[in-house]
Amino acid sequence: MTTLTLPRWFGRTRSAGSAPPPSRSKLRLGIPRVLNLWNTHQFWMGLLGALGFDPRNIVFSSDTSEEQGRQFGKGRGTVDCCYPVKCMSGHYGELVFGQKQKLDILLSPMIYTLPSFLSGHVAKTLTCPRVMAAPENIKAGFLKEGDAFAENGIRYCSPFVSLDEPLIVPKQLFEGMKDALPDLTREEMARAVDAGYKALHAFNDKLRKKSREVLEWCAREDKPCLMVVARPYHMDPGIGHEIEVDLQAYGYPILWMQYFPIDADLMDWAFGDDVRAGHVKSAFDIHDVWQSSYSSNTNEILWGAKVAARIPWIACVLRMSSYECGMDQPTYSPVQQIVERSGTLFFSFQDLDSTKPAGSVKIRVETITHYLEKYAADIINRKKAAMPPGCPLLPAA
């Protein structure tokens, strides 16, 4: 006698056979801490949180170091170019081979445009072509003797994204991430993108507020501070070599140009006369010093020089750039001239590479602090005299 239960007992329901996709809160996702992730990381955190990832399962690779490159990136280099791109092999390798708990996804976005505060005032906000193409370059080193991602159970996800065009970002990220997240929907992505921008703006606002507090303290006490004019990834201790940290140890507050306060009252005080005289269209217009305003980080560097030249308590500008950087080359002279013509001290650390030039940095840091001790008060007074009355950084009289 046949039993009717057996066929059903061993039969598969529609969803059996292929395991259901793990809940996103269980997925582990790695992001290389490189390039323009330094200024957009909060967008990605906001986005992934809204998509259901547990923040504790989002892993950023460590700061760049030579050791990281030796241990995880050796033999995987595919391009000979600037160190901020080259070092990515070590970051990828750390995420693929160096995790105690394996990752499920490696997210390395190809960022084409950046959501800059100068957007709308400049021609474009493009990333450096090397930055945009870097994920493709570096990925190649992990595919040459077999697919290192697949062998480690990792889905490689590299969406192309124009972060300065919020209307097309949901479509771009849906297309770029749907293979890594099979149950993703377009509506869900639209909501997540919104959350990403909110997180990024909240973070930027918070840091700008902190910078304003620093500037207000300097104005109240008539003390100097320094401003770093560099690309966002020079904040990486392995790329910028913490030169500004060495200076901070002497008691000088440090501001990063990316997070300079852009409140209307301060912008009007700093640039209002130029706008009213017709030299520029707005406080964020840089056409007076930089005509080909296509590259986002380059535009911000030029704007940083302009604002540093105007704010009296910024007594010194630190310029950093990396060896073999074709984007920075044409900006060296204009940035230096803008800063120095205002009487502000200017020190440049060009050609930064993988190794910290510790000896020369030490000597230069001593030189900078010597000049600051000797001249900062005069610089502040001269710059104050050149500015209009009613500085909003000072308490109202």
- Which ranges of 117-185 does DSSP label H, i.e. alpha helix? 129-140, 148-151, 169-177
Identify which of residues 48 and 320 has a Cβ nearer to ligand SF4 in the complex. Answer: 320
CB of 91 to ligand SF4, least distance (A): 14
CB of 174 to ligand SF4, least distance (A): 27
Q: What are the two backbone dihedrals, phi and then psi, of residue 188, each rounded to the nearest 5 degrees?
A: -60, -40
Taking the least distance from each CB to ligand SF4, the nearer of 36 and 61 is: 36
Rounded to a whole number of angstroms, the minimum distance from the CB of residue 353 to ligand SF4 is 11
> In terms of CB distance, is 85 or 335 closer to ligand SF4?
85
Residue 212 or 241 with smaller CB distance to ligand SF4: 241
Phi, psi of 311, deg, nearest 5: -85, 115
CA 244 to chain CA centroid, nearest Å: 17
Question: For 358-388, b where at least 16 C-beta lie within 10 A, e where not — what string?
Answer: eeebeebbeebbeebeebbeebbeebeeeee
Residue of 150, 176, 147 whose CA lies nearest to 162: 176
Nearer of residues 77 and 84 to ligand SF4, judged by Cβ = 84
- Residue number with CB closer to ligand SF4 (161 or 327): 327
Question: From the CB of 129, what's the least distance to ligand SF4, in Å?
Answer: 7
Pick left, alpha or beta for residue 319 (phi over 0 → left; psi -120 to 50 → alpha; otherwise beta).
beta
Neighbours of 183 (CB within 10 A): 10
Question: CA 135, 141, 144, 150 torsion: positive or negative?
Answer: negative
CB of 208 to ligand SF4, least distance (A): 23
Judged by the rule CB under 6 A, the positions of this chain that interact with ligand SF4 are 82, 84-85, 128, 130-131, 231, 322, 325-328
210 close to 194: Cβ distance less than 8 angstroms: no
Using the minimum distance from each CB to ligand SF4, give the nearer residue, 128 or 305: 128
Please state the closest distance from residue 298 (CB atom) to ligand SF4, in A: 8
How far apart (Å, rounded) are the C-alpha atoms in residues 384 and 45? 41
| Minimum separation from the CB atom of position 82 to ligand SF4 (A) | 3
